Structure 1
């Protein structure tokens, strides 16, 4: 019920993918907004974002013994790659994946589970018209598995991570909206097989099974679009609160430049000459 306590939202719609705007920009923006919300300079934020084909890696993925071969394989299939600054393992981003960032103040020591539950509630409200029985539990065999995987009938369509920064918390979710969930999972399965040298257990890689992943379009058996879900998201937020279009302030823009520089530095440090 945490969302019902919020009566004002800043809403950022960045769902039009642009080649010059990669996920490093997105994670930097979330850091910037997390600080603004944490200091009280901004109300709570929801940001919807989409990127061109990219594999978003977790820190643990960068320790794989044959990472260079795995990244080369990804790149040869038309995907870029980055190392994000929130938790979890590798996930796929593309034009059929809607990412949401829910950025909340953390001055009252919001628990990790409460923050996750707030995102689950937001997704359920957004998808209410589709009458899907959405469960929040780990789906074994999915990529980036976690306790708050979202699934329907045992097939995962979304995963959640969070990051805390200066009295703010950013809860981030990817929702596979269109396309094939199994094809995305196959990409990550092959990456881990190559980057681990075929020894998944020794390097704590998930044993990805493509059949346990699907898109919302597949699960709902109806055509969906990123724009229709973004509109549904905004309607869900508007039920109990005022929603205003978001744009970075001058102070936020200045801070964003520093946050983006840190993302570049982070990727360079973790990937070295492999960094894009």
Structure 2
């Protein structure tokens, strides 16, 4: 049963599904997309938006990662393993995206009053619990020590993390973003991030304490529920859940006005990324 005050209950959900765009769709485009939608929803031009996206072989670094003493070394290790590294425009630390990871963004308007940060996180946690309500598992929220990009809203089953949530706020819009490790090996992804930190930090003492990653505390949903789960099947659960809770859902693309906004946000994101990674 869901709470009637839940942020998931919106007059309308506009769905933007970018989960099948493949290797041509880059993570920097995604950040510009969410910034655009945040502005658009915040201005009242667009109803609340639910966006789904998948990126291939990408490690997304957080702002703290840009301060790693041997960052170039870490990035070249990732590149040797076939991953591209990019820097996101919000907090948090390194996360792995690949074809087995589904990313979801919920973009809410702060029109009626400020959305408390935990309320945004709770809405995403609630959505994921509802999406998998038919499975005999309990999805918990709380920091999983030893995971990559640890946070107080890590989602886990039986102490193993399969998802992490972040938030970004721009001009009256709030984007709550989650990466869901749907299939593949959670511990292999964690091993990659562990190797990145080992290379990028070296033996140098850093002021900021980077996570000591224990690959065994991370898993994919497929591993945790012991059955194969695909991005497509998870997408279906996502859309059905939003329809059940939120009511009116409608697919849409960017309007001409939003496309202009997107262009300028994309330029900004690319520029910031180049500075941060010193390419």
Per the TM superposition, whether the score is higher than 0.5 is: yes
Please show how residues 98-177 of structure 1 align to structure 2 within 5 Å. 98-107=102-111, 108-177=113-182
Q: TM-score, normalised by structure 1?
A: 0.96
Instruction: Determine which of 81, 91, 98 is the counterpart of 2:85.
Output: 81
Count of residue pairs the alignment pairs up: 273
1:186-244 alpha-carbon deviations (Å, 9 max, x no partner): 00001001101145765411000000000000000001000000011000011131100
Q: Which one is further off, 262-271 or 225-234?
A: 262-271
Q: Which residue of 1 aligns with 2:252?
A: 246
User: 1:61-97 CA distances to partner (integer Å, 9 max, x unpaired)?
Assistant: 0110000000000000000111011220000000000
Contact 2:58 2:98 in 1 (8 A): yes
Counterpart residue number, 2:198: 193
- Say which SS state the counterpart of residue 22 (structure 2) adopts: coil
* Paired position in structure 2 for 1:50: 54
Q: 1:27 — aligned with what? A: 31
Q: SS of the residue aligned with 1:239?
A: helix
Question: Do residues 64 (structure 1) and 68 (structure 2) align?
Answer: yes
Q: Name the counterpart of 1:92.
A: 96
SS at match of 2:145: coil
Is 1:9 matched up with 2:32? no
CA RMSD of aligned residues (A): 1.2
Q: 2 CA distance for matches of 1:123 and 1:104? A: 17
- Name the CA distance, whole Å, in 2 between partners of 1:206 and 1:171: 23
CA contact (8 A) 1:11 1:244 kept: yes
Moved more, 196-205 or 216-225: 196-205
Shift in alpha-carbon separation, 1:200–1:123, aligned structure 2, 3 A: farther
* 8 A Cα contact 1:17 1:52, kept in partner: no
Farther off after superposition, 208-217 or 104-113: 104-113
Contact conserved, 1:17 with 1:95, CA < 8 A, in 2?
no
Structure 1 stretches of 4+ moved >3 Å: 198-203
Q: Quote the Cα distance in structure 1 between the aligned partners of 2:21 and 2:55.
A: 5
Q: CA deviation at 1:132?
A: 1.8
Decide whether the 8 Å contact of 1:64 with 1:203 is kept in 2. no
Matches within 5 A, 1:212-227: 212-227=217-232
Q: After the TM superposition, which of the residue ranges 200-209 and 114-123 deviates more from structure 2? A: 200-209
Q: SS of the residue aligned with 2:224?
A: helix
Tell me the equivalent position of 2:272: 266
Deviation at 1:246, TM superposition (A): 1.8
- Please give the TM-score of this superposition, normalised by the length of structure 2: 0.95
> Retained in 1: the 8 A contact 2:54–2:99?
yes
CA contact (8 A) 1:200 1:206 kept: no
